[in-house]
Chains A and B, each alone.
Chain A
């Protein structure tokens, strides 16, 4: 198992290399000279050229890329084109906010959606099922930033119950987590319902009923444990989805996380920041997926990692 985990961590390296190369490649397709854009208005051609050389932009794309990777290996993610500040240092400051938001949202979404989805599956085609399903459809269709704005107006600006912006106390997390969670809860509840329904109709659940097991045992011990397998697989994409959702939410609540960093950088095409953010996020998504795979092997006896 340990060997498998190590192998998976090593497999993250080509993913990260690939994704950064991909961004460099796309960037090289686009005409336009970042050095000219960054140089002061009155700069001469020589000054722009000097700037280009100092940014390493005079070299071919592949050389730029290799140089970047060489620096990354030494823990240097480069500096922002505009502020000239270290990207790595900034990310270290910002990551805790985004990761806390992401992990908390994923956990809370699972804690709510798995029981709710199971319940709707067990009670399927009853009023409770219809109500929950309708709410799920409603919240999965709601843009998360719109929900965030509504929450912000009603629970903070108008009432002063919760802090509207920034980070600091646990209370700061309440609205962002709700806004990020809502659509996750909605879609996870629906998929849990589908999986549990699927399992409830399987032959082995009928076998359990034929043994005389009571309904609670049938659902909890036989159905849910089997349905958990696909549900847990879904957690990985759920975490990625939550991080994706946090992009807008961090902006709405002015959270100083990775997402706001990325958003600001995208606006001005500050590529070192963008590459750095994507790289760090893909590493964390990879780690979460690895943890989920390991959890899977604990639950499903058919999966053995050697």
Chain B
């Protein structure tokens, strides 16, 4: 073989190797952006998220709280001041839904973030150290997973006392076991994987193995499952809000908006549709995002 050919073959291989580490995000984004539903989901979710967190720029908080009976039951679209109409107390539905979104989405994101970190720590400790620590953590996880999530969260909220922070803590306790198990299983699997063994044989340091080899390989599925669970968590917070657990009136929250209007939905359907559609759109778009992430991060799982 000519020297030139050898050199070109070598550079070809090197560039292939480089593209896997350097352009990882670019490849991911290329795969993700090809998925139209996932892109639509991302756009819709970002709009709802930004509108909720920029709510003070759009409507005043007092419009969501202050009662003005003379303005009650304004139909959506019939008044320039109340684009989505008003409820039985004359409160602006748009304001209530947007400020409610701050709670529903904000609490959802915070819950999932806590569970994500907690899951990595617990699962990591369990998988890395093994032995008794592992047994104890996994037994506790099994135990917590033996109870329907909503019921467990309710019991924990009851024990801790009412409040949004308590609700978030209880929901992340509910989510954490599944995350921890996943991290543990992945680490257990990878610990003996051949490429980790290979890294060890050429003397790679432990830290480098963990950060360069283990974590990137666990991250994909973990991020996917986190996004998938965000939708469930938002539904769960809405259920709690509907039952009046965790969030105190008159603070608006999507689930509580539905429950406070329940007796009027029959006559004023928009009172149910407005918050309901906001919940559905966010959960639906999150599911699309989750699907897109899964396909982009792990093409093997695609069907």
A positions within 8 Å CB-CB of B: 14-15, 18-19, 22-23, 26-27, 29-30, 32, 124, 137-138, 140-146, 149-150, 153, 157-158, 193-194, 197-198, 240-241, 243-245, 247-248, 251, 259, 262-263, 265-267, 269, 271, 274-275, 277-278, 281-282, 285-286, 289
**Nearest CB in chain A: distance from B257 CB, A:** 11
Given contacts A124-B303, A269-B161, contact A18 B143 (CB under 8 A): yes
**Nearest CB in chain A: distance from B247 CB, A:** 13
Contacts of A240 in B (CB 8 A): 146-149
Contacts of A194 in B (CB 8 A): 303
Contacts of A149 in B (CB 8 A): 258, 262, 265, 272
Contacts of B279 in A (CB 8 A): 141, 143, 146
Question: Interface of chain B, helix or strand or loop or mixed?
Answer: helix
B35 interface hit (Cβ, 8 Å): no
B positions within 8 Å CB-CB of A: 139-140, 142-144, 146-152, 154-161, 231, 235, 238-239, 242-245, 255, 258-259, 262, 265-266, 272, 276, 279-281, 283-284, 287-288, 303
Please provide the 3 A-B residue pairs with the shortest distance between their CB atoms, ordered closest to farther: A244-B148, A244-B150, A141-B283
**Nearest CB in chain B: distance from A188 CB, A:** 15
Looking across the interface, which residue of chain A has its beta carbon closest to that of B148? Answer: A244
Cross-chain pairs A/B with CB under 8 angstroms, 11 sampled: A18-B140, A19-B144, A141-B231, A145-B255, A145-B259, A198-B303, A244-B151, A263-B154, A266-B245, A277-B155, A278-B152
Rounded to whole angstroms, the CA-CA distance of A145 and B151 in the bound complex is 15
**Nearest CB in chain B: distance from A202 CB, A:** 13
Rounded to whole angstroms, the CA-CA distance of A271 and B142 in the bound complex is 23
Contacts of B243 in A (CB 8 A): 247-248, 251, 263, 266
Rounded to whole angstroms, the CA-CA distance of A262 and B155 in the bound complex is 8
**Nearest CB in chain A: distance from B293 CB, A:** 15
Given contacts A18-B139, A271-B159, contact A278 B147 (CB under 8 A): yes
Judge whether A30 and B148 touch: CB under 8 Å.
no
**Which of A143, A198, A245 interacts with B238 by CB under 8 Å?**
A143
Contacts of A282 in B (CB 8 A): 146-147
